[in-house]
Amino acid sequence: MGKNVAKTSINTIRMLGIEAITNAKSGHGGIVLGAAPIMYALFHDHINIDLENLSYFNRDRFILSSGHGSALLYATMLVFGYPSITINDLKQFRQLHSKTPGHPENYKLEGVEICTGPLGQGCGMSVGFAIAESHLAGIYNKYSPVIDHYTYVMLGDGDLEEGIAQEAMAVAGKNKLSKLIWLYDSNNIQLDGKVSDSNSWNIKALCQAYSWNYIYVANSDYEQISKAIAAAKTSTAPTLIEVKTIIGDGWKLTEGTNKSHGLTLDANGVIELKKSLDYKYDDFSIPEEVKQDFKVVSIRSKQAVKKYNDAVAKLSKSDKTLYTSFDSVAKQNFAFELSWFEQIPFVPKEATRTLFGQVFDIFFKHHPTFMAINPDISSSTKIKSGSIYGDTNQIGQTVNVGVREFIAADIVNGLTAHGGIRAASSTFLSFSDYNKQAIRLGAISNLPILNVFSHDTITVGEDGPTHQPIEQIPSLRLIPNHYLFRPCNTEECIATLKFLNSKNKPTTAITSRSAFTQIKSKVADALMGGYVVQDDKNYDLTIIATGSEIETAINVISELKKVNKNARLVSMPCVRLFKEQSSAYQQKVLGNKPIVSIEFAATAPWYELVDLAIGIDTFGASGKPNDLISEFKLQPKDIVKKILTLLKK
C-alpha cells in the first residue's frame, strides 16, 4: 500500500509540474519527470520545515541549483502543503508578476531560499549556507543543539560542469561540511546531447579528490534515494549522492534524450502522459490519498520545532547573555553604533584600504556572526579579523578559500541568505569580473551582502594593465539594486559599513592601495550618497570626485584659483544612493554651473550627471604610478586645461 501511495504522490508532482508547463507553453519538463522521485524522497522522509512558519530559523535549507527545473520545485512545495503557494499560483507559472517565475526567486515565493538559475551557483551558495549552520552551531550550541539542520541541493550535469561547483567542492571538503548534501540528478543528458560528448569525468574520483563522501544510487527508486540520504546524514564529510535518473521519464517519445530537456506538452500530450504513468486524476488536482501521504511531513516538522524551542528555552535558562545574542541573530538584528568608531585616529595621508580595514575590524569585534571570506588576498585588502574558520574551529570568523574569487562571493550570498550572518569577501578590483555573477545574483535576491575591492585604479602601477581596473567601477555601478561605495575617508568607510546593515541592499566597497590626502566629513552626509565638501559662493563650476581622486580634485581647485576660476567640490561615494535623494537635494549639491567629474575609470556613465568626465577609457600600462598619471594626462595641470576649454564653450 505504501509503495502505491508513493507512486501516486510522485506522479502527482510530475503531473502538476507538467501541467504548469503546458499551461504556460514554456518550461523544462524533462527534469520534472526525471527527478520527481528525488524530491519525494527528500521532502517526504527527511526535510524539516515548519509549515506554519516557513522562516523558522532551524529549518533545513533546500536549494534548487538546476533552477530551470522550477516547475518541479513549485509542484513539490504545493503537494507538501507550503501555505505560500496555491494551485492558482501554479497555473500562473512563468507569467508576469506571478509567484512562480521561470527560475526560483526568494522574494516572490516564501519557502524559496535564494534566487537560482545560472548553473552552478546554487552549489556555490550552498557552501555559504552550510558554513552558516556550522558557525552558528559553534557559537550557540554550548548548552543544547539550538542550531542543527542540513543544507540540501538538487543539481545536474550542467551545475557540475561550471567551474564554481569545483570551487565549492574544494572549500566544502576542506572544511568538512558534513551537513551539506548534494543530490545529483545524473541522467547522462544535457541540452545539446549526451554528457559523454563533453566529459570523461569520474564523479566518484572527483569526490574523493575533494574529500567528499560519495554515494551511488543506480536508479530513481525513491526508497533507495531515501536510504542514501539517511546514510549521508551520518557522514563526517559533505556528501554527493549520484542518482541515475531518466530525463523525461514516462514520455516515451523523447525520454532519455536531449529532446526532453525543454519538454513542453500540449493538452493531448498531457492525456497521453497520464496514460503512460497510469495516472487517473484531474488536471491541477491533488488526490486525497496524496494529501494524507504528506501529513508525515507536518508531524515530523512539529517534532523538530518542539525540539528547537526546548533547546532555545534551555539556552535562555543557562546563559542569558548568550541567549540575548542568539535571539538578536535569529531575528536578523545587527547593531551598529557610530560610537564604536570614535577612537580611530585622523591620519593626514592614508590609503582607504587601511581605513576600511580599521572600521571593518571594529565591526567584526562587535559581531561574532560577521564573517570574512578570503581568497588568499586579505593581507592586501585588509579584510580579515579573528581566527580562521574550520572544522576544528567553527567559531572562526575568517574563511580561507584559496585563490577562488567566484566562490568567495557566492559563499557571502549563502551565508547572508541563511540568516543570522553578515559577511564580506575581498579581492583586487580588476578581479571583480570573476565574482560579478555572484554579486548580480545577490542583488537579485535582495541580500545585504558586502564585497570589498581594493587596488582601485591604474595607480596600481608596475603590475600593469591586467591588474589595473578601468571599466570595473561603472560596470558594478550598473547592477540594479546594488550600491557601490567608493569612500575617500574614515567617515565614508563607516557609512559604507552602516549601509550594509540594511535588510536587503547589496553593497560593494572600492578602496585604494595608495595613500592620499585625507579630509574630514560626517557619516550622515556620506549616507546621502553625495555631498558638498568645499563650497564657494562665487563658483564657476562644480567638481565631483570619488575615493582617492578627492586629492586630485583638491589640487585641481588650487590650480584653477591661479587663473581666477573657483570650484565647489562634491564627494560622491555612492552614485546610486545620491540619485535616490530628492531632486531638491540633488540640485543643491550639484549647483547650476558646469559640472566635471574626476574618477580614474571609464567615463561614459558619468555623462548622466556631468558636462565633462575626466577618467581613462583605455587599458593602462606597466610603470610607476606617477609616470602613469602623466602618461594618461591625469595630472592636475592636464585636467585644468580640459576644464578651461569646457568653460570657454
Burial class (CB in 10 A: 0-12, 13-18, 19+), 38: buried
Number of residues that make up the chain? 649
Cell of 557: 581647485
Q: Do β-strands 507-510 and 483-485 pair in parallel, antiparallel, or remain unpaired?
A: parallel
Residue 389 DSSP code? P
Name the residue among 34, 129, 37 with its Cα closest to residue 76.
37
3-state secondary structure of 577: helix
Q: Are 570 and 526 in contact (CB under 8 A)?
A: no
Q: Which of 580, 519, 524, 506 is nearest to 546 (CA)?
A: 519
Q: How far is CA 632 from the centre of its chain?
A: 36
Exposure b/e, 227-259, CB count within 10 A at least 16 = b:
ebbeebeebebbbbbbbebbbbbbbeebbbbbe
Vertex 619: Cα angle to 614 and 625 (nearest 5): 75
C-alpha cell at 34: 526525471
Interior angle at CA 243, CA 239 and CA 249, nearest 5: 155
* 3-state SS assignment for residue 548: coil
Using the Cα atoms of residue 332, residue 338, residue 342 and residue 344 in order, give the sign of their dihedral. positive
Nearest-5° angle of CA 283, CA 288, CA 290? 85
Place of cell 570589498: 452
Residue 388 is given by DSSP the state B
Q: Which H or E element spans position 613?
A: strand 612-614
- Between β-strands 450-454 and 151-155, what pairing exists: parallel, antiparallel or unpaired? unpaired
- C-alpha distances (whole Å) from 12 to each of 223, 243, 470 are 17, 20, 53
| Catalytic (active site) residue 342 | no
Given 105, 405, 549, 551, which residue is catalytic?
405
Residues marked as catalytic? 405
